[in-house]
Amino acid sequence: MEFKKLCILGLGYTGLPTASTFATHGLQVIGVDTNPRVVESLRNGQLHIHEPGLRTLVKASLRSGNLTVQAKPEIADAFIIEVPTPFFEESKKADMSYVVSAAESIVPYLRHGNLVVLESTSPPRTTIDLLSPILEKSGLKAGSDFLLAYIPERVLPGQILRELIENARVVGGIDQASAQAGRDLYSIFVRGEILLTDSTTAEMVKLMENTYRDVNIALANEFSRLADRFKMDVWEAIEIANLHPRVNILKPGPGVGGHCISVDPWFLVESAPDISSLIHAARLVNDAQPKFVLEQVKQVLGQDLQSVRVAVLGLSYKPDVDDFRESPAIAVLKLLVKEGAQVRAYDPYAREGILEETFLSNQLEEVIREADCLINLVAHAELRLLTPDAVIGMTAARKLIDTVNVWNLQDWQEAGFKLYRLGAGGS
**CB-nearer residue toward ligand SAJ: 30 or 260:** 260
Q: Which amino acid is at 77?
A: D
| Among candidate residues 83, 404, 64, the one with its CA nearest the CA of residue 224 | 404
Q: What is the phi-psi region of residue 80: left when phi exceeds 0, alpha when psi lies from -120 to 50, beta otherwise?
A: beta
Residue 9: strand pairing partners: 32, 81
Helices (H), 80-233: 97-106, 126, 132-135, 160-166, 176-186, 199-230
* Residue with smallest beta-carbon separation from ligand SAJ: 260
Q: How far is the CB of 63 from ligand SAJ (least distance, A)?
A: 28
- Minimum distance from residue 122 beta carbon to ligand SAJ (Å): 11
Phi, psi of 396 (to 5 degrees): -90, -5
Helix (H, G, I), strand (E, B) or coil at 418: strand
**Would residue 51 be called left, alpha or beta, if left means φ above 0 and alpha means ψ between -120 and 50 degrees?**
beta
Please state the closest distance from residue 316 (CB atom) to ligand SAJ, in A.
9
Calpha distance 392→369 (Å, rounded) = 10
User: Rounded to whole angstroms, how far apart are CA atoms 328 and 256?
Assistant: 6
- Residues labelled catalytic: 206, 260
User: CB 142 → ligand SAJ: shortest distance, Å?
Assistant: 25
Q: Which is nearer to ligand SAJ, 77 or 259 (CB)?
A: 259
Cα dist. 157→17, 161, 171, 352, 404 in Å? 11, 9, 21, 21, 19
- Residues at the contact surface with ligand SAJ, assessed by CB under 6 A: 121, 153-157, 209-210, 213, 217, 250-251, 253, 256-258, 260-261, 317-318
Helix (H) or strand (E) holding 150: strand 147-150
Closest CB to ligand SAJ among 110 and 261?
261
Task: Write down the H helix ranges in 109-175.
Answer: 126, 132-135, 160-166
28/159 with CB nearer ligand SAJ: 159
182 versus 328: smaller Cβ distance to ligand SAJ = 328
- Smallest gap from residue 281 Cβ to ligand SAJ (A): 16
Q: Are strands 169-173 and 115-118 parallel, antiparallel or unpaired?
A: unpaired
CB of 214 to ligand SAJ, least distance (A): 8
61 or 121: CB nearest ligand SAJ: 121
